[in-house]
Amino acid sequence: MKTLPVLCVSLLGMVLASGAQAQTGAPESLRQAATGASFTIGDTQFRLAPSATVTAADASADPGQAVVAGKYALALGAAPAAAKRGLAAAPSPKLAAAVSQTGEPVVVTSSVNVYFDQASVLDEAVRRTGGRLTYASAIGGKGTIEFDSVQQALDAVAKLQGQAGIKEASPKIEQLENMVL
């Protein structure tokens, strides 16, 4: 008689423990995979996770295997199940997974935010880097330049950081909604 309640409590404990392990496993694996190029935004340093794939977050992601950053799912290794079945496009070179120095996942886009003193500086930045201007505010002193890949955007950041009249140039990132699917 008493064995059944004890067995039920034991099984419940095992189920809860495995769920907790899954929730800590994916972010930790992503943090360990962050071995690529590094970049800084403000005072925060980020490092790319080259083996991670970035896709739109949806219910097809394997539980415990993907981390959500904004509207994107970050998973290590092969493309997610939906992409394997041909239901979703292949991961884009315009998106890459990265992890902050505190371990928070982000998605790096192929855009660069540029903060400047004068609008002519932004025009020169676009010309110099070969990107496409997608946003400009002379009053706010901010512009966004789009590139064909994350790598081109990171290369442009390196070029722009030393340019006269540019206060800051940094990759545009999708911020955190750190949850396991």
Q: Which tens digits make up the pLDDT trace of 9-22?
A: 454 444 444 444 44
* Count of CA atoms in the C-beta half-sphere (13 A) of 34: 25
Q: State how far the Cα of 75 lies from the Cα of 43, in Å rounded to an integer.
A: 26
pLDDT per residue over 81-97, tens digit each? 444 444 444 567 899 99
Q: Which tokens in the block code for residue 60?
A: 């097809």
pTM of the full predicted structure?
0.74
Burial class from Cβ neighbours inside 10 Å (0-12, 13-18, 19+) for residue 105 reads buried
In the sheet with 72-76, reading across from the earlier edge strand, the strands are 52-56, 72-76, 66-69, 179-180
Q: Which domains does the chain have, with CATH numbers?
A: 1-181 (3.30.70.80)
10-14, 24-28, 65-69: least confidently modelled range: 10-14
